[in-house]
Amino acid sequence: MDVTAVTFPPAAAPDPGQLALVRGRMWAVGDVTRDAQASLDGRPVQHLVSLVSVEDDATGEELEVVWEIEPGTKVVERAELPPIAVDRVVIRPSSTPSSMPSAGEP
Task: Look up the pTM and report it.
Answer: 0.64
**74-88 pLDDT, tens digit each:** 998 766 556 666 666
Domains belonging to the chain, first-starting first, are 11-76 (2.30.30.30)
Q: Which of 52, 47, 51 is nearest to 68 (CA)?
A: 47
Distance CA 5, CA 44 (A): 20
Predicted pLDDT at 91: 64
Name 30's Cβ contacts closer than 8 Å, sequence gap at least 6. Answer: 16, 50, 51, 52, 62
Q: Which of 64, 62, 70, 103 is nearest to 86 (CA)?
A: 103
Q: What are phi and psi of 25, to 5 degrees?
A: -130, 160
Predicted pLDDT at 12: 87
Predicted pLDDT at 35: 92
